[in-house]
Structure 1
Amino acid sequence: MRDEDFLAERFEAHRGRLLAVARRMLGSAGEAEDAVQEAWMRMSRSDTTHVDNLGGWLTTVVGRVCLDMLRARRSRAEQPLEAETPVPAAAPDPEQDVLLADSVGGALLVVLDTLTPAERLAFVLHDLFAVPYGEIGGVIGKSPAATRQLASRARRRVRGAQAAEADPTRRRELVDAFLAAAREGDFEGLLDVLDPDVVVRTEAGVTAGALAVAKGASGYARHITGVVVPALVEGRAGIALLRDGRVERTLAFTFVHDRIAVIDITTDPATAARSDVTLL
């Protein structure tokens, strides 16, 4: 057997686990494939002859790749909401939903999106894949004790997510308060209803952090020319922007710890018009 064939065979023996790690880290089947491919490229350029635990070595490599990808997302997230330019949304990936559902429920995925890249890596690798804190610390450049603290902080958020999710009446109150504060440019009022690590997702990218989201929401609201009303968007509490009686934009909210933790915004009018929207 040629050396390159033997190397590929060794890598393929670990591909399933590497994909599982990357999917849970990134929440995207396509990005997970990219991360694993990058791990293969790094392995093919490295001398792994003396690596005793190739699976562990590859897991840390994939962890580093995913960490870089998550940090790149955060850097793009610094764009204010009003500066975003809509681009076509990615098609839903049923395979991704099935693959994630076995150990990561919807509430957990929401909470993972509110964690910092380092917290997410520490939690996923340790709690879901039993990677020791010492190895994870080597990936993120932290001591084992500091890595343990990151995972513990993430774990508290994850454990409290479902229990503390707001009831329907409270969700409506939060949506109304968000809408009123945005209309009035009430920055402090927005901060009162937003989770400190709130994430806003649009076709153009991601914005993270209450300060950035509040600034973008209050600034954007001043330029709205249509009618904005509370609504159920695909069954979730949200807001619809109407122009000439047609739904032109939607916001759908997810709540964690009695705060707005994730806002999914559809900015493309054609996509918004096809959404299941019930005006309230």
Structure 2
Amino acid sequence: MAAQNNLERLYAAHRGDLVTYAGRILGDRTQAEDVVQEAYLRYSSRNAEHAIDEPLAYFYRIVRNLCLDFKRAKVRDLEKKHLLSHALGLLEGVRDSSVSPEAEASARQELLHVSNAIAELPDRTRLAFELHRLEGYSFREVALELGISVGLAHLLIAQAIDHCRQRAGRNNEF
């Protein structure tokens, strides 16, 4: 019970700072408040058998991790929507140009191969590729978003493109 009271006092004393911290990461105060509330729930539901040496630092770590998880999920959702709209646009273009059913089936198959190839990529490589090729981020912006060097961003994107080419069975520009 004393641990719960200490947590409540810690939360009450630092909630505003935690929301400000999360808001800087997310760029949205409303989402930041949701993340801080979720952090409180996670902190309060943890196994209390192990004492935390720095409870405030631990709280900040939970908030940071939740913010990063939230941003990743948001990017994945945007990427899925973008891929779907792009795929639907390709298929609509195929239909509109009076292409044969065989060509449409071939285009669908190629789209499926590329989509599967993207899904096979390691998370960081996939995210770098999607940010650059689908969202239009520059290499520098990809590097900043992922917390990596610009050179590594180039390398990850090149690896993703090579992987997609191989899986799609093409050697031309992807």
Which interval holds the TM-score relative to the shorter structure?
0.3 to 0.5
TM score, norm. by length of structure 2: 0.46
Higher RCO (C-alpha under 8 Å, 6+ residues apart):
1
More helix by share: 2
TM score, norm. by length of structure 1: 0.30
